[in-house]
Amino acid sequence: MIMSDNFIDASSASHPDSVLRLSSAVHRFAIPFINPKDQISFETSFNTCSKSHSNTIAAMQQADNRRREIKAAMASGKVIHTSLSTSLKEYIPVVNQILLSCKFQPEVARLDKHLVFSWSSGIEYNKYNKSKEFSDSEALMFELVLSIATYALSESNIGCDSCVDGDFPKASRQFAKAAGIFQYLGEDVLPNWMANSAQHAELENETLAETRVGVCLAMQHLYMAMAQQMAVATVLAKPGTPNYALLGKLSSGIAAELETFVTTFRSRSPVQMSRIDPSFLTLITFLINIQHSLGLYFLGRSLWLSCEYGVAIAAISEATVAARTRTTPTGRGLPEIESTSPLQSLSPELSNYRKHMVSLLQSWEKDNMLVYFNKVPPSVPADKALKPIRMKKIEEYCLDIKDPLPFSLPGVCDEQEVSSPTKVESKTSESTDESSKGTNPPSYDDAMNNSSFQQQVDCDLARELQDKLNSE
C-alpha cells in the first residue's frame, strides 16, 4: 500500500504519492478543427462522374455523413473523444478510397464544384492566441493527413482521460497507439506526399504542423515517452515494494525519449516549433529533468535495498540536486514555475517530493554513520549508473485500404453508345486510349504494381482537377 507523504521512519518508508503523480504527469494536446464555414460535399462535387455508379454514390454519401459527425463532435462544448475517434476511424478509409480513385482514373475524375478543405492545427494551439487560423487546400491528401493526425490526437486524449481515472494500463495502450499513428504519418504518408510536391519548399512556412514529417516523427517519441510513463505509474500504483532498479531504468528511458522529441522537432521542423505554446515547451523541460531526478531516486532506493548504502546516498544526493530549480535558463535543474504556469498544479507534488528526499537522505546518512560505515562517493560511479531502457512497444497503425471506386463521364458513354450505368461499369473497349474511361478501376494491389500509377501524386491531381473544372 502506498503511504502518504507524512511518515515516521524515513529510511524504510515507501515512495510517497507525489512520486506517482510526478511520474504520470503528461500533456493534453488540442485537436485540429475543421473550419465551421467549410460546407464541402463529396457527393455534390463528384456528382457527374459518380452518378452512374451506385457504390460510388454510396461511398460519397458515407464520407459526407462521417464528416458531418466529425464537425458536430468538434463543435460541441466538450469534445467526446471516443465518439470523435469512432467517426474518424470510419471516415479515413473512405477518404483514402476517394483519393486512390482519383489517382487511378485522372481522365474521368472531374469535379462539379470546388473541394477546398480548411483546417486549423491542434499541435500549434497557443493559449495566448486562441483564435484559430485555418489553412486551406484543394488536395485530398491534405484532408487525409489532417484526419489521421486528428485521430492520433483524439486517441491520445482518451489516454489522458484514462490517466486521470487511474487506469494507467489503458492510458499506456492509448499513447502507444497514438505514437503508431504518428509513425505511420511520418514514415509512410507524408514522405511520399512531400517528396513529390513541387510546392514543398514554398509552403514550408505556411503548412500546419500536422503535415510536417519532422513534427510527426517527433510526436511519435513524445507519445512513446508518455506510454512508458504510464508503465511506471502502473508499477508504482501496485501494493508492496516495486522493482526500483527497473523503475530507474524506465524513468531514464523516458527522459531519453523526451530529449529525442525535442531534438527531432527542433532540427526537422524549426518553423513549426516556434509556433508551439511556450508553456508546453516549459513542461517538456520540466518533465525531462524530473524524470532524470526520479531515475536517480529509484536507483538510490534499489541500491539501499541491495545494501550498497554509500552509493545509494550518492544517488539520492544527485536526485535532490536534479529536482532543484535552476538558477539560469540553461543551467541544470527544473525551470522556474511561474504563478500563471500550468505547472502550478504540480507545485505541491514537487514540494512533497523534495521534502521526502531530504528526510530520506538525512535518515540514510545517519544510519550509515552509526551502523554501516560505507564510503559515500561524490557521485554515482559509472558501473552503477542508470542504463536507460525503452520497454513499451509502439502499436503500429495500418490504414484499411479499399479498392478504388469506379468513375465515368456521360460524354464517354455516348461516344461508346452505352445506354446504362451497368454497361458502363462492365464495358471493355477495344481501344486502349478509351479503356480507362468509364470502366472499373484496377484493384489497389494491381495499381500499386503499375509504376505509372505510383507517379501520380496528389498535388498534380489537385491541379488537374482544377484545370478540368475550369475548362467545363
Range 363-383 average pLDDT: 96
Cell (9 digits) for 226: 508518455
- Can you tell me whether residue 373 is helix, strand or coil? coil
Helices (runs of H) and strands (runs of E) counted in the chain: 19, 3
DSSP string, 91-158: HHHHHHHHHHHHHH-TTT---SS---EEEE-STT-BTTB-SPPPEEE--HHHHHHHHHHHHHHHHHHH
DSSP secondary-structure letter at 17?
A: H
Q: Determine which helix (DSSP H) or strand (DSSP E) holds 375, and give its type and residue range.
A: none
Amino acid 259: pLDDT: 97
Q: Which residue has the cell 486562441?
A: 130
Instruction: Report how far apart, in Å, the C-alpha atoms of 48 and of each of 57, 59, 387, 407, 445 are.
Output: 10, 15, 63, 9, 27
CA–CA separation, 75 and 283 (whole Å): 28
Could you give the count of Cα atoms lying within 13 Å of 405 in the half-sphere of its Cβ?
25
pLDDT at residue 417 tops 80: no
Q: For the segment 126-150, what is each residue's pLDDT rounded down to a tens digit?
A: 665 555 789 999 999 999 999 999 9
pLDDT at residue 201, as a whole number: 53
361 compared with 5, residue with greater pLDDT:
361
What's the whole-number average pLDDT of the chain? 85
pLDDT at 400 over 50: yes
User: In whole angstroms, what is the distance from residue 158 CA to residue 169 CA?
Assistant: 12
Q: Is the pLDDT of residue 306 over 70?
A: yes
* Residue 452, pLDDT score: 52
Provide the sign of the torsion angle of the four alpha carbons 241, 238, 8, 252, taken in this order.
positive
* pLDDT at residue 195 tops 70: no
Beta-carbon count within 10 A of 154 CB = 30
- CA dihedral of residues 311, 317, 318, 324 (deg, nearest 10): 170
Torsion angle of C-alpha atoms 157, 68, 148, 397, degrees rounded to 10: 80
Inter-CA distances, 465 with 63, 77, 460, Å: 19, 37, 9
Over 70: is that where the pLDDT of 455 sits?
Answer: no
C-alpha cell at 122: 491542434
- Under 8 Å CB-to-CB from 54, ≥6 apart: which residues? 421
* Alpha carbon of residue 183 to chain centroid: 8
Helices 278-305, 309-322: inter-axial angle, 10-degree rounding: 170
Residues 6+ apart with CB under 8 A from 75: 36
Q: What is the pLDDT of residue 133?
A: 85
Please say whether the beta carbons of 135 and 206 come within 8 A. Answer: yes
Residues 148-162 pLDDT 10s = 999 999 999 999 999
Q: Which residues pair with 180 in a beta bridge?
A: none
pLDDT of amino acid 405:
96
**Per-residue pLDDT averaged across 257-279, rounded?**
94
Crossing angle for the helix pair 81-104 and 54-75, to the nearest 10 degrees: 140
How, if at all, do strands 135-137 and 33-34 pair?
unpaired
| Nearest of 93, 55, 101 to residue 401 by alpha carbon | 93
Q: In what order do the strands lie in the sheet with 33-34?
A: 33-34, 117-120, 135-137
Q: Are 311 and 369 in contact (CB under 8 A)?
A: no
Q: Are 108 and 49 contacting, i.e. CB atoms less than 8 angstroms apart? A: yes
As a whole number of angstroms, the distance between CA 216 and CA 214 comes to: 6
Q: What global pTM score does this model have? A: 0.85
Judged against a pLDDT cut of 60, whether residue 101 lies above it is answered with yes
pLDDT of residue 88: 98
pLDDT of residue 434: 41
Radius of gyration, alpha carbons of the chain:
28
| pLDDT tens sequence across 318-366 | 999 999 999 887 888 999 998 888 899 999 999 999 999 999 999 999 9
Q: Is the dihedral of CA 142, 148, 154, 157 positive or negative?
A: negative
User: What is the rounded CA–CA span in Å between residue 261 and residue 256?
Assistant: 9
Strand partners, 117: 137
Q: How many CB atoms lie within 10 A of CB 24?
A: 20
Would the pLDDT of 274 be above 70? yes
**What is the structure's pLDDT at 202?**
52
pLDDT the model gives residue 198: 56
Q: What is the grid cell recorded at 103?
A: 489517382
pLDDT of 297? 98
